[in-house]
Each structure stands twice: as structure tokens, then as C-alpha cells.
Structure 1
Amino acid sequence: MKKEKKDNKKTSMNRRQFAKAALGGLGAAAASPLALTEAIAKAEADEKKVQDFRKNCVTTVENPILVDESRYQRFSTANIAFNAYSRDIGESHWAPYGRNLIKNLKQGKGGKDIKVGTFDDARAVNGLEAAMQSGNRLTGNHGEGHENRGPLAWDNHITSADLGSFPKSELPPEEFTKQVKIAARLGGANLVGVCKLDHKWVYESTQRNVYSPDTPETQKIVFRDVDRPQETKDELIIPSKVKYAVVMAVEMPRTLIQSSPGPAAGIGDALGYSRMGWAAIALAEYIRCMGYTAIPCKNDTALSVPLAIEAGIGEPGRMGVIITPEYGPCVRLCKVLTDMPLVPDKPIKFGVEQFCNYCKKCARECPSKCITEGEQTWEPRNECNNGGVKKWYNDYKKCLGFWDENGMSCTNCVAVCPFTKGDMWAHHFTEWSIDNIHASHPIWLTLDDAFGYGQRREDLDVFKRDFAPYGMDPDKMPR
């Protein structure tokens, strides 16, 4: 039986009213209401495209993440690879990385075995990578250890001070969910989903002296019955009423990532980090404008991959990241934790686990051999893994060891993944058959190699290609 609406004025918001709120929340005070209304209409259309594209994906009521509750413990960022590896080598991981980067640069190289061209050629490509990191630095530099700092502050009203002083808006969760997804898209998210916030995925503590070889200086992350987020010397306090996570994925430019492990791939990686910071901060500010708590997160505060799985963004792959139907693993994840009442999405399945069981191309092409070729297990490889979840565990300290030796980051696993493809019908047919005809897996892997997918692109191609904004393929912007 349908519930009768008590007061239509209180339980609905028209497009013009939403536009006014979005002006404050997204910092678009100079935009005309008509222009913003058109932008909202475009965001609505993009969300519909995603739903149409995903019509062959199977949604599941059951959580696909298998957890042994008897042994699982919340993870600390003191044990993420960047921090653990820095302790192992006795200095910040970025120190040897930087030394080798400069050494390579002087030789016109973009990695230990990657000749870019002249010194000026290598300098130009590395300069682009540094430039595209600007947004990342301004929005919290990846996010590790930056909880409740600067733009990632948990109670940071920038433009929402006036709007947030009103009583919170009271709308049906379905309407709030629709608005939040539009706001996320306006903020730059390519994909957005909602899940209930399971406390097990929130970090147990965060290391404040990031990338330090010294003893970790940590703060606990706890939930308490408080009205607003708080911080003490020893604790970061999330209000217990914060029960939802809005998870966003931003696409990284495929043709740049496919130059890994050279510097042009670093440009694509940097663009992904910069965009995810803006998306999280913009969405958080919009939610605050509506009167609710919003905690913006990049890689910080909580584990992004399990939240993305539960929010229906994609499936987990062998390499340990999310694989989406639209972009494969060529995305970066961010999220906003909130008490705004929302409608959770359902996890999806489209054949990733079955294909990863057979494929192993990411492990084959990994320079550090950090990616397992074995079966899923409950057992961690080292302190950088959190045991008690059935999945593929990888040795990410080996990965960072290659970064330092190479003097450049590596995204080979993402670049060579058969799901990292352009937007064309043949690739969509392949994905459909992967999900529906498991016997075809050997065929598609063979063809993937035969057609040269996964071969490294040249770094100087960055100055020859016709890019859309943020390095996207011109025919894919917007999808």
C-alpha cells in the first residue's frame, strides 16, 4: 500500500529549488539558474546511460564479500604499503623514488628501462605529471593520514555556512539519493553508488606521520553518540548517526595509463587523484548545505574497495582493485560518509571473478611479481593485508619496491587488464560473453594478446594525441 504524503511542500523539491541548493553546495554562485538546470538535466541523462549500460549486470541481495568475523579486525593505515615499506627501508619510500627519478631524467629516461628521448623530452612528460598532481596536493595528497585536515576536514563548511544554518531538509530517501547522485556527477564522478556504512571497513586508526620510518603516530577512529564530527589528541570521532557511504569512481585516461610504467601513465594517475579529491569535497559540501553531516574521503578513513563493491560500483579483481563494467579497473575511488537518509544500491556481478580465475594477465605482466597467480584465500601475505576476508592477497611492498627502483610509479596491472578497453561494440560483446559464456574465457584472452592489447604506449604520444578534457578519449567525453 502506498503511503499518503502528509505535506507535498515538505516532501518534495522541484528542479529550480534543487538548483538553488546546488549553487551553494558546488560553489557555482556565478552560474545562472538556467545553466545549472541544464547541467542537472545532463547529469540525470548521464546517470540513465549508466543504468542502461548496466542492464545485463546481475544485482544480488547477498553481500559478495565473504568475511570470517571470528578473525577479521579493522585495519590501520600504519600498515598500508606506503607506511610499512618506509619502515622496512628506513626512510620515506619517496626518497629513493625521487633519487632514481632525477637520475633517469638526466638520461632522457622515464624509468630505469624506458627511454623517452632527450632530456627536454623526459622533462616535458614529467612536468605534465607534476602539473596534474596539483589538484591532488590541494585536496589532501592522496588522503593517507590527512583525515580531518584542510579540504578533507570533517566539519568544514565553506560555502554552506548560511544554508546549513537552517533546519535540515526533510525529503524521502529516494529523492535525497537522486539528488546526491546528480551532485556527485556535477562534481566529476563517472559512477556513483550508495551503501550502508559497515564499521568493519572503517580504519581502526590512522597514521599521522605518513611515509615515516619511525614508530607510527596514530589516532583511533571511533564512533560515538555526538552531533558533529570531533577530534581529540587520541581520537577522530565519527557520529554514530553516520550510516551511509556514497562511493564515487572517476575514470582515469586509458591511453595515458597504458604507457605504464613510464611517466605518461603518471599523468593519468595524477589526474585520477586530483579529480577524486574534488568530487569528494564537492559532494560533501552539497550534503552539508542540506543540513547533514558529510565526511569527504579519498584513500583515507575507510577501505574504498569493499565499500565500492557493496555500493554496486563493480566487482573485485585479482589485482586487488575494483573492476567496473564501464571502465574496467581504470578508475580511482573516493567516498563521502553521511547521515543523510539514502537508499542503498545492490552489489553487481558481471563475470569478473570467474574470468580472473582464468586470466592472470595482470600477474603475468607485473614487473615486481607482487600479484598472486594462486587461488583466493583467507590468509594475508604480510602486514599490508587484512586477513579474514576471502580474496586474492598481493604483496604491495614488492610493488613499491619496483616504483623506487624504476623512479616512476606503475599501473601495469590496470593497463593490461582485458576489461580496460575503449568504448566500442566489440568490447561490449566481449564483456557480455565473459559474463554469460564462461567457456569463451581462453578465446578472449588469446585474442587480447593477439591484437596487442596491453602493449605499452610511447610516452611522447601524449603530445601527439587529440585529448578531451582530463585526457579522455575524444569520442568518450562525455559517455
Structure 2
Amino acid sequence: MKSRENDGVKASGAGMNRRQFAKAALGGIGAVAAVPAMLGEAIAKAEADERKSVEFRRNLVTTVDNPILVDETVHRRFSSANIAFNAYSRDLGESHWAVYGRNFVKNLQQGKGGTDIVVGSFDDARAVNALEAAMQTGNRLTGNHGEGNENRGPLAWDNNITSADLASFPRTELPPEDFTRQVKVAARLGGANLVGVCKLNRRWVYESTQRNVYSPDEPQTQRIVFRDVERPTETPEELVIPESVQYAVVMAVEMPRTVIQSSPGPAAGIGDALGYSRMGWASVAVAEYIRCMGYIAIPCKNDTALSVPLAIEAGLGEAGRMGALITPEFGPCVRLCKVFTNMPLVPDKPIRFGVEEFCNHCKKCARECPSKCITEGEQTWEPRNECNNGGVKKWYNDYKKCLGFWDENGMSCTNCVAVCPFTKGDMWAHHFTEWSIKNIHASHPVWLNLDDAFGYGERRHDLDVFKRDFAPYGMDPDKMER
């Protein structure tokens, strides 16, 4: 990504601009970060946000039957032992994070945020990375993602953190429609920008989990199985999910677009960290709500199951070329979490809004990927390596190459998310573009060329993070800014 030095920085003022005033008056999609003091007002706000989300999508998306094509003769449940972090560490013979950390420290001492990215002085680089470390706090407290944390700590499968007395009552019996409305309110109050429900498709649940993910020589795995038991249980060999667990509540939390767009510099890590922290909080909060109503709840971050296909089936978005979920509201600039439950719920429908057709033409994420891990080819049934869950028709990418660039760079990378034409601010021109992408396929080359011509995808400077007028959770209050 080319650098956009100090572009688009707004001076902070004492009053509201017109965009902030409109947002405060009308409410924005997912604007539930600050919970009002009165419970009734909080619930009303969460319900209003859900209605606004439904209304926004009504004019943009089409509901469809399940769009995920699976070859049942080939497809097998995936093991988390083969997620890229684990497989790449096995190839290295040591933890990926050990290599990454050595180059990170080297860059930091030189005032860098990557091999070719000069932030400024050592203190400048330190300050940006200190923000990233601070925003990881919620992630660490709820269990670092992808580190074999199934059924551990706050992500425990059969645990009430604060309100065991509520769970001791006989469970509440309500129509599924009422439970669904209540769970979506809980999700929005818990920080989710988007929430959907699907039947729990077991093919997306990991076949097994690797506990010691960064010890390549001594793998310790537990199978994840479904059994006719009353409560979730664990043995040295198995993690057991009750057969009664039939639904998944799938949530997306927005990452702050303007810091993500500094990738592959250090400020982008702030956006990643906030996403992981918020998804941990949302999943644990929703699980606690469900348990207090008398039902089983299994909170998950990146663990336990593949998040993207569940999010597709829950109607949150479509799969993009980069392998991430692309949503109508935020593009791929989100993190996903989920809660499995036996609470009776009403599933949402998958949606289409032109992502697959546009990704066939665009390829901007592949073009701007420094590791060239993203394919420029067609969708296929064939995986590229053990990190892919084969037997599904989709774009397969080599994520070990991605982590190789992380190690070389001494900093993570989210270029694919940052440059995606769907990663845009909330303004009418962008919504018109989305509408035309869905409805006028001949316009695809025009929009890609305009995306480049207007400078979308150019890298923001890392130190701009200290000059921006951020709302809570790092969101930019002026969604019109590119």
C-alpha cells in the first residue's frame, strides 16, 4: 500500500459537526457502545439499532438459500491443529510468535513499524505499539484467540460468571421469536455491531482442538464431539457438546477503519486488538445472558468452529476472495464471534449483495497482498495446503505465506481488509456503489478504477492515530471521510 501521509486528519472541536449531530439524533448501525443508564432506554436503543440494520439491508441485500457449496464425498471437519498459526509453527520448528517477536523488537529499536515503515523516533514507535498492547487487554482477559482456549476461563462451556443464582431457577419458556429478539438485544448491548442466528451446522465445528498450539513437537489434541448429555463436559480425550445444542448466535464487531488502513504498519494492530477484545466481551456477555435464562451457552471467539461459514449462514455477509466475511455495513473490517446454544431461536437467512461477482473481477486484495498469499484464480474445490478446509467451493489462499510476511515485517498485516473496496465510510455515494455492484455487474471495472483514482487503499500514516477525532472503540465519528 502506498502511504497517505497525514491525510484526512480532522482537528478535534468542542462542538458536534453535522455528521455527529445526525448520528446522535438518529442513531447509527450498531451504535450501542455506550450503554445508557436506564435499562428501558438501553433496550429501546438496541432494538432501534436492530431495526435500522434490517431497514438498511432491505434495499441492498437479497435473502437466499444456503450459498455454500459442499462436496460431501470430500469434505471433512477441520482440526484447529491445522490453522495457519499452528501449521506454520510446525514448519518453522518453533513458535511463529518467537520469530515475529525478534523482528518486532529490532524494528522498534529503530523507530520502525515494519521492515520498510519508519514511524519516527523510538518513542514514536513505542507509543503506537503501546496503544496496540493496551487494546489487547480485553482479548487477554477473555482468552487469546486461537490458542486452544475452548472451555477455558471466561470461555468455559458450563459456567456462570456472575449470576449463578439466576441460572438456578427453572428455565424460562418463551416462543422462539421472543427469545431471538431478546438475544439480539443482549448481543447489541454486549457490543456487537451485527448479529444473526443460524442452525448449528456441525460440519463447521472443529473435529479437534490443539491445546499446546505453539509446541510443535508435542501436540495435545482433544476431539470435539456431540453426545446425548445434559451439560457440556470434558475428558482428557474429548470436549463434549450436548446434542440439544442446535443454534449459533453469530456476531460481528466493527474494527476502526482508519487505523486498519495504516497496514502493514503498527497502528493497524490497534484495530485488530480492539476487534479481538470486543468479540471476546460480546461472546462472553451473550453466553452469560443465555445461561441466566436457563439454557446452555458455549461462547467462542476464533475457537471451536469456523466463524466465516457460520456467519454466512446467519446472514451477516458473503465470503470474499481474501477468505474473510464481507458485510454490507463494514465490508471485511470486522471480527467474528459466536455462541452455541440450545435456546430455541429463529434462524436468519443467508444474503447476497454482489460480493462474489465483484470479487471475480476486482482482485485488489490479491494485488496489494505483500506476501502474495491471496489467489488471483477462480474459485475451486481444491485446498492449497493443510490450512484449508477442502471440499468447499471457494477461493483458497496460502495463509502460511501471510504469516511468513508477518515474521519478516515484524508486524502483522491487514492489507487485504484495508484496501477492499467494501471497506468504506457510511455515506450515500458508497451505498450507491454497493447498490450498483449488486445490480449492475457491467459497472465493476468502473468502480475498481475509481477506487484507485480517488486514493482508496493508500496507507495512512501511523502517527495520525494521535491526531484523529475518535469515538469510543476507535470508531471515526465522521463516517463520510474516506
TM-score, scaled relative to structure 1: 0.92
Give ranges in structure 2 of 5+ residues lacking alignment: 1-33
- Choose from 451, 457, 461 the match for 2:454: 451
1:65–1:33: structure 2 CA closer, same or farther, 3 Å change rule? closer
The answer as to whether partners of 1:61 and 1:346 remain within 8 angstroms in 2 is: yes
Q: Tell me whether 49-58 or 366-375 shows the greater mean CA deviation.
A: 49-58
1:322 matched to 2:325? yes
Query: Unmatched 5+ residue regions in structure 1?
Result: 1-30
**What corresponds to 1:334 in structure 2?**
337
Mapping of residues 168-317 of structure 1, within 5 Å: 168-317=171-320
In structure 1, how many angstroms separate the alpha carbons of the residues matched to 2:104 and 2:161?
Answer: 38
Shift in Å, 1:474: 1.3
Aligned equivalent of 2:407: 404
1:114 has 2:151 as partner: no
| TM-aligned CA deviation for residue 33 of structure 1 | 10
Whole-Å Cα distance in 1 between the matches of residues 64 and 464 of structure 2?
45
Report if aligned partners of 1:247, 1:333 keep a CA contact under 8 Å in 2: yes
Residue matched to 2:386: 383
- Distance in 2 separating the partners of 1:34 and 1:232: 43
Q: Which whole-Å deviations, capped at 9, do the CAs of 1:222-273 have from their partners, x for residues lacking one?
A: 0000010000010000000000000000000000000000000000000000
Asked whether 1:157 is paired with 2:143, we answer: no
Q: 1:50 to 1:89 in 2, by over 3 A?
A: same
> How big is each residue's C-alpha offset from its partner over 1:330-375, in whole Å with a ceiling of 9 and x where there is no partner?
0000000000000000000000000000000000000000000000
2:154–2:161 contact (8 Å) kept in structure 1: no
- DSSP-derived class of the 1:474 partner: coil
Q: Percent identity?
A: 85
Matched, 1:128 2:131: yes
8 A contact 1:143–1:297 mirrored in 2: no
What's the secondary structure of 1:250's corresponding residue? Answer: strand
Partner of 2:476: 473
**What does the per-residue CA deviation read over 1:174-203, in whole Å, with 9 as the maximum and x for residues that have no partner?**
000000000000000000000000110000
Q: Is the 8 A contact 1:57 1:348 kept in 2?
A: no
CA offset digits 1:110-143 (Å, max 9, x no partner) = 0000000000000000111111111101111114
Tell me, in whole angstroms, the C-alpha distance in 1 between the residues paired with 2:214 and 2:419: 29
Give the number of aligned pairs. Answer: 447
Distance across 1 between alignment mates of 2:333 and 2:202? 27
CA contact (8 A) 1:418 1:448 kept: yes
Deviation, 1:37, is: 1.0
CA distance in 2, matches of 1:57, 1:428: 9
Per-residue CA distance 1:404-460 (angstroms, 9 max, x = gap): 000000000000000000011100000000000000000000000000000000000
Partner SS, residue 366 of structure 1: coil
C-alpha contact (below 8 Å) 1:146/1:152 kept by paired residues: yes
Which whole-Å CA distance do the structure 1 matches of 2:37 and 2:88 have between them?
52
Taking structure 1 as reference, are residues 161 and 121 closer, same or farther at Cα in structure 2, changes over 3 Å only? same
Equivalent residue, structure 1, for 2:16: none
Structure 2: how far apart are the matches of 1:458 and 1:34? 37
- Would the aligned equivalents of 1:89 and 1:213 in 2 still touch at CA under 8 Å? no
Question: Quick one: which amino acid aligns to residue 235 of structure 2?
Answer: T
CA distance in 2, matches of 1:61, 1:443: 27
TM-score, length-scaled by structure 2? 0.91
Residue in structure 2 matched with residue 418 of structure 1 by the alignment: 421
